[in-house]
Chain A
Amino acid sequence: SQKIEQNSEALNIQEGKTATLTCNYTNYSPAYLQWYRQDPGRGPVFLLLIRENEKEKRKERLKVTFDTTLKQSLFHITASQPADSATYLCALESSGTYKYIFGTGTRLKVLA
Protein backbone atom coordinates (compact mmCIF):
# COMPACT_ATOMS: atom_id res chain seq x y z
CA SER A 1 0.00 0.00 0.00
CA GLN A 2 1.02 3.60 -0.48
CA LYS A 3 2.41 5.24 2.61
CA ILE A 4 4.31 8.27 3.86
CA GLU A 5 6.24 7.92 7.07
CA GLN A 6 7.63 10.62 9.25
CA ASN A 7 9.29 10.12 12.56
CA SER A 8 6.33 10.17 14.90
CA GLU A 9 8.56 10.71 17.90
CA ALA A 10 9.01 14.30 18.94
CA LEU A 11 12.38 15.79 18.17
CA ASN A 12 13.97 17.96 20.85
CA ILE A 13 17.03 19.96 19.95
CA GLN A 14 19.00 22.77 21.49
CA GLU A 15 18.68 26.28 20.14
CA GLY A 16 21.27 27.04 17.49
CA LYS A 17 21.61 23.43 16.34
CA THR A 18 20.43 22.00 13.04
CA ALA A 19 17.20 20.02 13.11
CA THR A 20 16.83 17.25 10.53
CA LEU A 21 13.43 15.71 9.85
CA THR A 22 12.83 12.68 7.65
CA CYS A 23 10.04 11.81 5.25
CA ASN A 24 10.00 8.35 3.66
CA TYR A 25 7.47 7.17 1.15
CA THR A 26 6.65 3.84 -0.40
CA ASN A 27 4.81 2.88 -3.57
CA TYR A 28 4.74 6.41 -4.91
CA SER A 29 6.63 8.10 -7.70
CA PRO A 30 5.91 11.73 -6.89
CA ALA A 31 6.95 14.50 -9.22
CA TYR A 32 6.95 16.94 -6.31
CA LEU A 33 7.12 16.88 -2.57
CA GLN A 34 6.03 19.65 -0.24
CA TRP A 35 6.80 20.56 3.36
CA TYR A 36 4.39 22.37 5.65
CA ARG A 37 4.55 23.72 9.17
CA GLN A 38 1.60 23.33 11.51
CA ASP A 39 1.13 25.00 14.87
CA PRO A 40 -1.35 23.52 17.39
CA GLY A 41 -4.95 24.14 16.40
CA ARG A 42 -4.01 25.98 13.22
CA GLY A 43 -3.93 25.11 9.55
CA PRO A 44 -0.69 23.98 7.91
CA VAL A 45 1.49 26.65 6.30
CA PHE A 46 3.44 25.91 3.15
CA LEU A 47 7.22 26.10 3.45
CA LEU A 48 8.97 24.54 0.47
CA LEU A 49 8.33 22.51 -2.65
CA ILE A 50 10.98 20.34 -4.28
CA ARG A 51 10.68 18.69 -7.68
CA GLU A 52 11.95 15.21 -8.52
CA ASN A 53 14.75 16.63 -10.67
CA GLU A 54 15.97 18.90 -7.87
CA LYS A 55 18.29 17.35 -5.36
CA GLU A 56 18.19 20.26 -2.95
CA LYS A 57 16.19 23.42 -2.32
CA ARG A 58 16.94 26.22 0.12
CA LYS A 59 14.97 29.05 1.62
CA GLU A 60 16.62 31.14 4.29
CA ARG A 61 17.43 28.72 7.14
CA LEU A 62 15.49 25.86 5.55
CA LYS A 63 16.89 23.19 3.28
CA VAL A 64 15.10 20.25 1.69
CA THR A 65 16.62 17.33 -0.14
CA PHE A 66 14.84 14.79 -2.31
CA ASP A 67 16.28 11.39 -3.11
CA THR A 68 13.96 9.51 -5.45
CA THR A 69 16.17 6.41 -5.30
CA LEU A 70 15.91 6.17 -1.54
CA LYS A 71 12.33 7.49 -1.69
CA GLN A 72 13.21 9.97 0.99
CA SER A 73 13.17 13.68 1.68
CA LEU A 74 15.13 15.37 4.43
CA PHE A 75 14.12 18.72 5.90
CA HIS A 76 16.76 20.76 7.70
CA ILE A 77 16.41 23.86 9.84
CA THR A 78 19.76 25.44 10.57
CA ALA A 79 20.46 27.74 13.52
CA SER A 80 17.17 26.61 15.02
CA GLN A 81 15.19 28.92 17.28
CA PRO A 82 12.45 28.28 19.85
CA ALA A 83 10.03 29.91 17.38
CA ASP A 84 10.70 26.99 15.02
CA SER A 85 8.92 24.66 17.45
CA ALA A 86 5.97 23.19 15.58
CA THR A 87 4.87 20.07 13.74
CA TYR A 88 6.32 19.65 10.26
CA LEU A 89 4.42 17.73 7.61
CA CYS A 90 5.57 16.39 4.29
CA ALA A 91 3.08 15.94 1.51
CA LEU A 92 2.95 14.60 -2.00
CA GLU A 93 0.44 14.01 -4.72
CA SER A 94 -0.34 10.46 -5.61
CA SER A 95 0.86 10.55 -9.21
CA GLY A 96 -1.75 11.65 -11.67
CA THR A 97 -4.62 11.39 -9.22
CA TYR A 98 -4.74 14.92 -7.75
CA LYS A 99 -5.03 13.26 -4.35
CA TYR A 100 -2.79 14.71 -1.70
CA ILE A 101 -1.19 12.51 0.90
CA PHE A 102 0.22 14.02 4.06
CA GLY A 103 2.58 12.39 6.50
CA THR A 104 1.56 12.31 10.14
CA GLY A 105 4.17 14.93 10.94
CA THR A 106 7.12 15.29 13.25
CA ARG A 107 6.81 17.51 16.28
CA LEU A 108 9.91 19.64 16.74
CA LYS A 109 10.74 21.38 19.98
CA VAL A 110 13.67 23.77 20.09
CA LEU A 111 14.93 24.28 23.61
CA ALA A 112 16.27 27.68 24.65
Chain B
Amino acid sequence: DSGVTQTPKHLITATGQRVTLRCSPRSGDLSVYWYQQSLDQGLQFLIQYYNGEERAKGNILERFSAQQFPDLHSELNLSSLELGDSALYFCASSVVGLAGLNEQFFGPGTRLTVL
Protein backbone atom coordinates (compact mmCIF):
# COMPACT_ATOMS: atom_id res chain seq x y z
CA ASP B 1 0.00 0.00 0.00
CA SER B 2 1.59 3.26 -1.19
CA GLY B 3 -0.48 5.48 1.08
CA VAL B 4 -2.06 7.26 -1.90
CA THR B 5 -5.79 6.75 -2.21
CA GLN B 6 -7.93 7.22 -5.28
CA THR B 7 -11.68 7.11 -5.67
CA PRO B 8 -13.61 5.72 -7.31
CA LYS B 9 -11.87 2.52 -8.28
CA HIS B 10 -14.05 2.01 -11.33
CA LEU B 11 -16.19 4.42 -13.28
CA ILE B 12 -18.46 3.64 -16.21
CA THR B 13 -20.11 6.51 -18.01
CA ALA B 14 -21.36 7.61 -21.40
CA THR B 15 -19.88 9.82 -24.06
CA GLY B 16 -20.44 13.50 -23.47
CA GLN B 17 -20.60 13.13 -19.70
CA ARG B 18 -18.39 14.70 -17.04
CA VAL B 19 -16.65 12.87 -14.20
CA THR B 20 -14.45 13.77 -11.25
CA LEU B 21 -11.62 11.60 -10.02
CA ARG B 22 -10.29 12.15 -6.54
CA CYS B 23 -6.86 11.61 -5.05
CA SER B 24 -5.53 11.87 -1.51
CA PRO B 25 -1.74 11.99 -1.37
CA ARG B 26 0.43 10.40 1.28
CA SER B 27 0.52 12.28 4.53
CA GLY B 28 3.08 15.05 4.25
CA ASP B 29 3.47 14.90 0.47
CA LEU B 30 3.06 18.30 -1.14
CA SER B 31 3.18 17.27 -4.80
CA VAL B 32 0.45 15.50 -6.70
CA TYR B 33 0.78 14.18 -10.23
CA TRP B 34 -1.90 12.84 -12.58
CA TYR B 35 -1.24 10.29 -15.29
CA GLN B 36 -3.33 8.56 -17.94
CA GLN B 37 -2.47 5.03 -18.99
CA SER B 38 -4.05 3.42 -22.00
CA LEU B 39 -2.96 0.29 -23.79
CA ASP B 40 -1.57 2.05 -26.83
CA GLN B 41 -0.11 5.12 -25.17
CA GLY B 42 1.62 3.94 -22.05
CA LEU B 43 1.80 6.19 -19.00
CA GLN B 44 1.21 9.80 -20.01
CA PHE B 45 1.93 12.67 -17.66
CA LEU B 46 -1.04 15.02 -17.44
CA ILE B 47 -0.36 17.61 -14.76
CA GLN B 48 1.51 18.29 -11.51
CA TYR B 49 0.51 20.38 -8.53
CA TYR B 50 2.78 21.48 -5.74
CA ASN B 51 1.27 22.78 -2.52
CA GLY B 52 -1.87 23.95 -4.25
CA GLU B 53 -0.25 25.52 -7.29
CA GLU B 54 -0.04 24.11 -10.77
CA ARG B 55 3.60 23.34 -11.52
CA ALA B 56 3.67 21.56 -14.87
CA LYS B 57 1.29 20.57 -17.60
CA GLY B 58 1.85 17.63 -19.87
CA ASN B 59 -0.40 16.15 -22.48
CA ILE B 60 -3.60 17.24 -20.80
CA LEU B 61 -6.56 17.94 -23.04
CA GLU B 62 -8.48 21.19 -22.71
CA ARG B 63 -11.54 19.13 -21.73
CA PHE B 64 -9.62 18.00 -18.65
CA SER B 65 -8.85 20.14 -15.63
CA ALA B 66 -7.45 19.56 -12.18
CA GLN B 67 -6.94 21.31 -8.90
CA GLN B 68 -5.26 20.74 -5.58
CA PHE B 69 -7.09 21.87 -2.48
CA PRO B 70 -5.69 23.40 0.74
CA ASP B 71 -5.81 19.99 2.42
CA LEU B 72 -3.62 18.79 -0.51
CA HIS B 73 -6.10 16.35 -1.98
CA SER B 74 -6.58 16.71 -5.70
CA GLU B 75 -9.35 16.25 -8.21
CA LEU B 76 -9.15 15.59 -11.93
CA ASN B 77 -12.20 16.66 -13.89
CA LEU B 78 -12.87 15.11 -17.27
CA SER B 79 -15.63 16.58 -19.39
CA SER B 80 -17.27 15.96 -22.78
CA LEU B 81 -15.99 12.44 -22.50
CA GLU B 82 -15.09 10.50 -25.61
CA LEU B 83 -14.56 6.79 -26.14
CA GLY B 84 -10.82 7.42 -26.37
CA ASP B 85 -10.73 8.74 -22.81
CA SER B 86 -11.25 5.22 -21.51
CA ALA B 87 -8.08 4.46 -19.58
CA LEU B 88 -6.55 3.96 -16.17
CA TYR B 89 -5.96 7.25 -14.41
CA PHE B 90 -3.26 7.29 -11.78
CA CYS B 91 -2.48 9.82 -9.15
CA ALA B 92 0.96 9.94 -7.58
CA SER B 93 2.47 12.01 -4.81
CA SER B 94 5.94 12.92 -3.66
CA VAL B 95 7.37 14.77 -0.72
CA VAL B 96 8.49 17.81 -2.66
CA GLY B 97 8.27 18.85 -6.25
CA LEU B 98 11.95 18.65 -7.08
CA ALA B 99 11.76 17.19 -10.51
CA GLY B 100 13.32 13.80 -10.92
CA LEU B 101 14.80 13.78 -7.46
CA ASN B 102 11.91 12.29 -5.61
CA GLU B 103 10.29 8.96 -6.03
CA GLN B 104 6.64 9.11 -6.82
CA PHE B 105 4.18 7.00 -4.88
CA PHE B 106 1.34 5.88 -7.10
CA GLY B 107 -2.23 5.22 -6.10
CA PRO B 108 -4.21 2.17 -7.21
CA GLY B 109 -5.77 4.05 -10.10
CA THR B 110 -9.27 4.74 -11.35
CA ARG B 111 -10.39 2.71 -14.32
CA LEU B 112 -12.61 4.85 -16.51
CA THR B 113 -14.77 3.24 -19.16
CA VAL B 114 -16.64 5.51 -21.56
CA LEU B 115 -19.44 3.77 -23.47
Instruction: State the A residues within 8 Å of B (CB).
Output: 30-34, 41-46, 49, 89, 92-93, 96-105
Residues of B within 8 A of A105 (CB): 42-43
Residues of B within 8 A of A30 (CB): 100
Of residues 52 through 108 on chain B, the ones whose CB sits less than 8 Å from some CB of chain A are 55-58, 88, 90, 92, 97, 99-101, 103-108
B100 touches A46 (CB 8 A): no
Interface size on B, residues (CB 8 A): 28
B25 within 8 Å of A (CB atoms):
no
Given contacts A34-B100, A43-B106, contact A97 B43 (CB under 8 A): no
B43 touches A89 (CB 8 A): yes
Instruction: State the B residues within 8 Å of A (CB).
Output: 2, 4, 33, 35, 42-45, 48, 55-58, 88, 90, 92, 97, 99-101, 103-109, 111
Considering the chains assembled together, what is the distance between the CA atoms of A62 and B111 in angstroms? Answer: 31
Residues of A within 8 A of B44 (CB): 102
Residues of B within 8 A of A89 (CB): 43
B2 and chain A: residue at smallest CB distance = A43
Q: How far does the Cβ of B97 sit from chain A's closest Cβ, in whole Å?
A: 7
Given contacts A32-B101, A43-B92, contact A100 B42 (CB under 8 A): no
Considering the chains assembled together, what is the distance between the CA atoms of A69 and B105 in angstroms? Answer: 30
B106 and chain A: residue at smallest CB distance = A43
* Interchain residue pairs with CB less than 8 A apart (21): A30-B100, A32-B100, A33-B100, A34-B100, A34-B103, A41-B109, A42-B108, A43-B92, A43-B107, A44-B43, A44-B90, A44-B104, A49-B100, A49-B101, A98-B97, A98-B99, A99-B48, A100-B33, A100-B99, A102-B44, A104-B42
